[in-house]
Amino acid sequence: MLQRIYDWVDERLDITPLWRDIADHEVPEHVNPAHHFSAFVYCFGGLTFFIVVIQILSGMFLTMYYVPDIVNAWESVYYLQNEVAFGVIVRGMHHWGASLVIVMMFLHTLRVFFQGAYKKPRELNWVVGVLIFFVMLGLGFTGYLLPWDMKALFATKVGLQIAVTIPVIGEMAKTLLAGGEIIGAQTLARFFAIHVFFLPGALLALMGAHFIMIRKQGISGPL
């Protein structure tokens, strides 16, 4: 049945080359853990991507209940965690995934660093990778404020106080991030927008570039 539907579409649109191009490629022996178990270090990039997918999905579902407003934010988080079925799990996925994605990304970076995989001709991909790292940290920072509890509030105060120490533009940077003089209603709305629209958009674009470059250049050779 599935095969027949596929054939029907393929006959008209010739989709086989499309997915072949994406999915069908050789995995060199030195990155295959079945040959050398130590090759598991090549998994960290993929694991980072896998967790990013979980983060995007669980985040999308969380916004069904969450409201970015200082009166209701905490209440809505409390409600979705305690009153909605599987709320603990969905929020837990997003909460733990946020930490895990940093860990995986860090391990991936270490592997690339110690194998010297960033060297010519792959310097550009290293740069994109570092940008992804910063975007992830930004996602972590903005997401931390959203539950609007004491921990969130003071973590953000500290974070913005660090921004003030930037020479010359420090104060401006803080006001821009906070959306006003204090950390309050405007900060929450702003951080929410940054967390769910701007940074994920940047992240998807950068990850696209990251993957295209890998396909173009191939995985770096064995040590």
Rounded to whole angstroms, the Cα distance separating 147 from 58 reads 15
**Would you say how long the chain is, in residues?**
223
162-201 footprint of another protein as x/- string (CB under 8 A): ----------------------------------------
Structural tokens at position 170: 């420090």
Residues 85-114, interacting with another protein (CB under 8 A) = 85-87, 89-90, 93
Structural tokens at position 168: 């010359």
Helices 87-114 + 73-82 axis angle, to 10: 100
**Residue linked to tokens 């105060």:** 157
- Beta-carbon contacts of residue 119 (< 8 Å; ≥ 6 apart): none
Rounded to whole angstroms, the Cα distance separating 48 from 101 reads 6
Among 76, 109, 142, 187, binds another protein (CB under 8 A): 76
Looking at residue 39, its amino acid is: A
| 75 counts as binding another protein under rule CB under 8 A | yes
Q: Which is nearer to another protein, 81 or 125 (CB)?
A: 81
Judge contact between 77 and 147, C-beta under 8 A: yes
Q: Which stretch binds another protein (CB under 8 A): 82-90, 185-193, 206-214, 215-223?
A: 82-90
3-state helix, strand, coil split of the chain in percent (to 5) is 75, 0, 25
Q: Which stretch binds another protein (CB under 8 A): 1-9, 68-76, 115-123, 182-190?
A: 68-76
Q: Which stretch binds another protein (CB under 8 A): 76-84, 165-173, 187-195, 201-209?
A: 76-84
| 72 counts as binding another protein under rule CB under 8 A | yes
Least separation in angstroms between CB 189 and another protein: 18
DSSP 32: -
- Binding residues for another protein, rule CB under 8 A, total 20
Q: Which is nearer to another protein, 32 or 72 (CB)?
A: 72
By the criterion CB under 8 A, which residues form the site for another protein? 54, 57-58, 61, 64-65, 72, 75-76, 78-80, 83-87, 89-90, 93
